[in-house]
Amino acid sequence: MSNKYSDEEILQALAVNDSEVIGVLYEKYYKMMASHLYQLGCETEDIKDIFQETIMVIYDKAQSGTFKLTSKLSTYLTAVSRYKYYKKYQQDKTLSSTEFNDHELADLPKDIEYFEEQEKMYQRIFKGLELLGKPCSTLLEAFYIHNFNLQQVAEMLNYKNYDSTKTQKYKCLEKLKGILTKLN
C-alpha cells in the first residue's frame, strides 16, 4: 500500500482529502518516527499524540495549496515531530525557552542534513531488522521501539523468564550488529 505513493502523491492526496493516504502515512512513517521520538526521551503514550499532531501539520500545509516540500517527506515529518516533542516537553516542564507555533514549526527544517542522516540510519536499522527475521526483530522492536520492559517481552514471546529474555536480546543485538555491518 505505502510504496505506491511518492512524497508528491501523498501531498496531492492530502490536498483532496483522500482518507487512504492517512493510513499510508502511518504505515510508512510511524515506526521511524516512534523510534526517533523514543530516542529523544519521549514517553510511549505521547508518541502517538505527537505523530498525530505532525500528520495534522502536513495535512494543513497540503490543504493550503501553497506548500512546497523542499526535502523528503520523511525528513520533514521528523523535523516537525521533533519540534512538537520539544514544544510538549517545554510545556510539561515549564521551561523558559522559545515557543513555536504550528506554522513556524512547519517551516523549521533548518537542520535537514541532520534529519537526512537520521533517516538513513533508521532505514538501515529497519532493513537490518527485516533481514534479522522473527523472533529477534519482534523482540528488539518490542523492547526498543515500543518500550516494553524485558518481563513484558518475555510474556509476549513466551520466553521462560527475564534472564532468558535478556540473553536472547543480547544474541539478537549481536546478530543485528553483524547484519548492519554488512549493510555498510
pLDDT tens column, 106-151: 545 455 566 667 777 877 888 888 899 888 988 988 888 777 888 8
Is residue 7 within 8 Å of residue 73, measured between CB atoms? yes
What pLDDT does residue 169 have? 93
pLDDT at 93: 56
Closest CA to 86 of 40, 38, 133: 40
The span from the CA of 159 to the CA of 171, in Å, is 14
Each residue's pLDDT tens digit, 7-64? 888 888 888 888 888 888 888 888 888 888 888 888 888 888 899 988 888 888 888 8
| CA 147 to mean position of chain CA atoms | 13
- Collapsed DSSP state (helix, strand, coil) of residue 111: coil
DSSP H or E stretch at residue 12: helix 7-15
d(CA 142, CA 140): 5
Q: Give the model's pLDDT for residue 172.
A: 92
Give the number of residues written for the chain. 184
114 Cβ neighbours under 8 A, 6+ residues apart: none
Looking up cell 521501539 gives 145
pTM for the whole structure: 0.54
Lowest mean pLDDT among 2-6, 68-72, 165-169: 2-6
